[in-house]
Amino acid sequence: MAPDNQLDPASFMPLLLDAVCAVDAAGNFVFVSAASEQIFGYTPAEMVGRSMLAFIHPDDLERTLSAAGKIMRGQPNPHFENRYIRKDGSIAHIMWSARWSESKQMRIAVARDVTERKRAESMQAALYAISEAAHAAENLQALFRQIHHIIAGLLPAQDFAVALCDAGAQQLSISYQADLSAGAPDSTGAATLCALGNQVVSSGQPLLWQCDSQQPPSPDPQLQSWLGVPLSASSGVIGVLILKSRDPGMRYTVQHQELLQYVSTQIATAIERKQLHSRLQHLAQHDPLTGLPNRALLNDRLQSALARAMRNASRIALLYLDLDNFKHINDSLGHTTGDRLLQEVASRLSSCVRETDSVARIGGDEFIVLLEDLQLAEHAGTVAEKIQQAFAAPLAIGADTIPVNVSIGVALYPENGNSGQQLLGHADDMMYRMKKQRRDKTTS
């Protein structure tokens, strides 16, 4: 026994915040200090005699065994990290300082709980990744997919959805919905997701629901647990993040809610940034009056179409359209009527072509139709006739009924040129030739 005036190290062992452990050559705990209960959730009595492998996270087993082997061969390791599964099922991140005692034939180790540090590092990494995704993602869908994977690295988020508020209609619409479980599709209906999201939007607060709770009710009887967090931006709530679980063994907790709330503001900022970028990109590539592609976007599509046609030995066509006497309509009925007329012309032209084709307004009353993958040259003439028939009936613009005549010039690849400039020039010439023929008939 130590003298009264001498410190007994063993008496301080229960006061240590780190756990002191001893593991025999077979990998079984032979000693665990009192701090184990705070770190692992198990009392020393519950751990002693059991294999350390029973507590280690399955994904860390292989590298833990490898590290243990090196320590037993005489290589101390003061900074080894792995994950243990606590008694309550949660995960503890542990930093070990360990060495082998040859005389005792045991590994002597000190375990420090670094879960909070790892959590903070993960959160900072997630915020950085979300910010990077906002810049790197090609579009909103790509951004949502990246956000989904980032969140799934923080908490269980296999079944995940994003619902955004429609500013005009003041309602939610599902913008992203996916289940990462073995690539399974998300079977939750849009109406159910919107019902869940509306509960969050109406309160402006996160909502955590379990199947055995009463409030708020769930519209999906298969759900065991769901978590909804508002996407709050400077302009208000712009949408909702929704996580769902149908597994009775996986229920969301307040800790999950706090994690999702922590990243939600950064996600809202990323979404707003990508939406603004998309709007600016759309404005740069589309005619603001009709919403059709403008000359710049048409040129891009034409170059791509030509490259595909050359590669596949296929045929494309350009139809150059001009409205006859549009200046007279504009001058006599006013620019407002003229603008509405152009919008109606754009709508009728779009209805005459396939979704794979393009209709563009390149200025004034001039439109271009790009037809891809034509089987026969005659098909371009068929589309031109279809367009003429679409304008056979006058257009009703407010109280005015306006007859519209369209002059159309056609150019074919490869017959009339191998470049976009050649095709546009040929179609333009053919259009003015048709317009001149009509004028000559009128005056004769």
> Residue 412: what are its φ and ψ, rounded to 5°?
-115, 140
Q: Which fold has domain 119-285?
A: Beta-Lactamase (3.30.450)
Element holding 312 (H helix, E strand):
helix 295-312
**Residue 18: pLDDT above 80?**
yes
Q: Do domains 119-285 and 295-443 have the same CATH topology?
A: no
Q: What pLDDT is attached to residue 49?
A: 96
Smallest Cα–Cα separation from 132: which of 146, 152, 121?
146
Least confident of 22-36, 173-187, 318-332: 173-187
**Residue 3: pLDDT above 70?**
no
Confidence (pTM)? 0.68
Are β-strands 106-113 and 19-24 bridged in parallel, bridged antiparallel, or unpaired?
A: antiparallel
Instruction: Give the C-alpha separation, 324 to 328, whole Å.
Output: 9
Tell me the per-residue pLDDT of 70-124, one tens digit each, with 9 for 90 and over.
999 999 999 999 999 999 888 999 999 999 999 999 999 999 999 999 989 988 9
CA distances (Å), 144 to each of 233, 271, 332, 441, in order? 17, 9, 50, 59
Smallest Cα–Cα separation from 338: which of 395, 280, 387, 264?
395
Sequence letter at residue 295: R
Sequence-distant (6+) residues with CB within 8 A of 202 are: none
Question: Are the CB atoms for 208 and 224 separated by under 8 Å?
Answer: no
Element holding 189 (H helix, E strand):
none
- The residue extents of the domains of the chain are 15-113, 119-285, 295-443
DSSP string, 20-89: EEEEETTSBEEEE-TTHHHHHSS-HHHHTTSBGGGTB-GGGHHHHHHHHHHHHTT--EEEEEEEEE-TTS
Instruction: Give the C-alpha separation, 230 to 239, whole Å.
Output: 6
Question: Are the CB atoms for 240 and 261 separated by under 8 Å?
Answer: no
Question: Are the CB atoms for 23 and 30 separated by under 8 Å?
Answer: yes
Q: What pLDDT is attached to residue 168?
A: 54
Instruction: Give the C-alpha separation, 219 to 229, whole Å.
Output: 17
Q: Domain spanning 15-113 has what CATH number?
A: 3.30.450.20
Q: Domain spanning 295-443 has what CATH number?
A: 3.30.70.270
Smallest Cα–Cα separation from 99: which of 71, 80, 73, 68?
71
Please give the average per-residue pLDDT across 302-322, as a whole number: 94
pLDDT-derived band at 381, boundaries 50, 70, 90: very high
Q: What pLDDT is attached to residue 384?
A: 94
Share of the chain above pLDDT 90, in %: 60
DSSP secondary structure letter of residue 318: E
Element holding 238 (H helix, E strand):
strand 236-245
DSSP string, 331-389: HHH-HHHHHHHHHHHHHHHHHTS-TTSEEEEEETTEEEEEEEEESSTHHHHHHHHHHHH
Instruction: Give the C-alpha separation, 64 to 82, whole Å.
Output: 7
Q: What pLDDT is attached to residue 209?
A: 84
Q: What pLDDT is attached to residue 76?
A: 95
